[in-house]
Copies of this chain bind each other. A is one copy, B any other.
Amino acid sequence: MPTAKKGDPVNFPSYPHEVLAVVLSVRDDRLCVLLWKRARSPYRGRWALPGGGVEPAERLRDAITGHLATKVDVRDVAHLEQLATHSAIDRDPRARVLATAYLGLVPSDVEPKLPSDTQWHSVDELPPTAFDHHYFIEAAVARLRAKLSYTNIGFALAPLEFTIAELRDLFGAALGYELGATNLTRVLTRRHVIDPTERRATPGQSGGRPATVYKFAARELTVTDPFAVLRPPR
């Protein structure tokens, strides 16, 4: 159907394009982002998101997966979704570069081996960052927090199996406020976002009844509550 062919002119100006990843994970009960310290100018010594250019045969998603692989084992990234494309004229002092960022999530029990220039940083205590990266980090944190409410995205932050107390602490760290375990259980089990397993946790020092171990029902993103309010008819 398209009768134009490869090499026919397109009249759209071209721009260098980069991809970036905001990789979030709960570490030591705090929501953290993966940053590396720039060794060269511009912004030498500042902390930056992992990323880089896009090769001619790569889609944006393939490109960010490739760049992430130099920082973490990408099998540790349990979820990856496109966040936004930024286009401020002077976001890079060298030239006009367009940037598409992705949100990546790593489960809290996974310990990726990090290169020496790379560290987890609490999103509440960010060091000075490079370029416009802090805007991407803010957007990623807001996206994650919203999606914890109406999707099953928690699967990508949690271990494969967990007790309700563990999940409450994890969600509390990700959301930035404390949650009640009873309400969390009710909401997530009623919708079958999480299901109980046959396993019981080893009791802690305080003793008491062994807690039920739960798991997420699915390990791909699903909208669990698309019409929280405006429900379609059954």
A residues adjacent to B (C-beta < 8 A): 1-18, 41-44, 46, 52-57, 59-61, 82, 84-85, 87-89, 92-98, 100, 130, 145-146, 148-150, 171, 175, 177-179, 184, 187, 223, 225-230, 232-233
Query: How many copies of this chain?
Result: 2
Inter-chain contact A94/B7, CB cutoff 8 Å: yes
Tell me the bound Cα distance from A98 to B16 in angstroms. 11
Across-interface contacts of A52 in B (CB, < 8 A): 12
Least distance between A199 CB and chain B CB atoms (Å): 25
Tell me the bound Cα distance from A61 to B53 in angstroms. 22
Least distance between A145 CB and chain B CB atoms (Å): 7
Inter-chain contact A3/B44, CB cutoff 8 Å: yes
Inter-chain contact B18/A12, CB cutoff 8 Å: yes
Across-interface contacts of A57 in B (CB, < 8 A): 89
Determine which residue in A17, A55, A100 has the highest number of CB atoms from chain B within 10 A of its CB, and name it.
A17
Instruction: Label chain A's interface by main secondary structure.
Output: loop
Contact for A150 among B2, B44, B150, B187, CB less than 8 A: B150
Inter-chain contact A11/B43, CB cutoff 8 Å: no
Tell me the bound Cα distance from A6 to B10 in angstroms. 27
Across-interface contacts of A46 in B (CB, < 8 A): 1
Tell me the bound Cα distance from A94 to B184 in angstroms. 52
Across-interface contacts of A82 in B (CB, < 8 A): 84-85
| Residue of chain B at shortest CB distance from A88 | B59
Inter-chain contact A233/B177, CB cutoff 8 Å: yes
Inter-chain contact A177/B232, CB cutoff 8 Å: yes
Q: Given A57-B89, A60-B85, A233-B177, are A12 and B42 also a contact pair (CB < 8 Å)?
A: no
Contact for A94 among B5, B60, B226, CB less than 8 A: B5
Across-interface contacts of A17 in B (CB, < 8 A): 12-15, 17, 98
Tell me the bound Cα distance from A232 to B180 in angstroms. 10
Inter-chain contact B226/A12, CB cutoff 8 Å: no
Contact for A228 among B41, B59, B100, B229, CB less than 8 A: B229
Offer 15 A-B interface pairs, CB within 8 angstroms, sorted by A.
A1-B43, A2-B41, A5-B94, A8-B95, A12-B52, A12-B53, A13-B16, A13-B56, A14-B15, A56-B89, A59-B88, A146-B150, A148-B230, A150-B228, A228-B228
